[in-house]
Amino acid sequence: MKLTKNTEDIVRNLFATQKLAVLATQNNGQPYASLVAFVGRDDLKEILFATPKTTRKFANLKADSRVAVLINSSENRPSDFHRAVSVTATGTAEEVPVDERNHFLKGYLDRHPHLTDFIHAPSTACVRVTVNCYYMVQNFQKVIELHINP
């Protein structure tokens, strides 16, 4: 289906209204899903999250940087079947370099101020997902692809 400006606005709206996403990683062919507090960039090119370096998700993304991130507007109500929007972002994940960490921290803490202690812990990794494509689903049937140019 053809991409419209409205598609980008819907993704940005999900970034603005949703604070949690599901991160999918894998290791040796075994998928693994994790809930993460995230922040998305307005240009749609990156999604950022933080995780302890001791987690399975971090070990998985270090072994294979390919990830998917699911963000959705569902509220666990019957109306979700007609109103909810779900977006899956596919891309590659990497730990944010130390010299870029302060820029990451500002955006992340503006969105999640209650995670200040967590994000400043030495055991926490800041992770950037560089998005290749978004797959947006509406009405559980209408699928739109949004390819991101580097």
Instruction: Give the residue-averaged pLDDT of 103-111.
Output: 89
Phi-psi region of 61 (alpha: psi -120 to 50; beta: other; left: phi over 0): alpha
Place of tokens 């399975």: 56
CA distances from 149 to 16, 30, 59, 144, 146 (A): 22, 29, 28, 16, 10
Instruction: Give the residue-averaged pLDDT of 100-111.
Output: 88
Instruction: Give the residue-averaged pLDDT of 26-50.
Output: 95
| Token pair of 139 as six digits | 């009405």
pLDDT at position 1: 37
* Percent of the chain predicted with pLDDT > 70: 86
> Which amino acid makes up residue 14?
L
Predicted TM-score (pTM) of this structure? 0.88
pLDDT at position 41: 92
Neighbouring CB atoms inside 10 A of 47's CB total: 24
* Strand, helix or coil for residue 117: helix
Q: How would residue 2 be classed by pLDDT, with cut points 50, 70 and 90?
A: very low
Q: Is a pLDDT exceeding 90 seen at residue 44?
A: yes
| Token pair of 142 as six digits | 């209408």
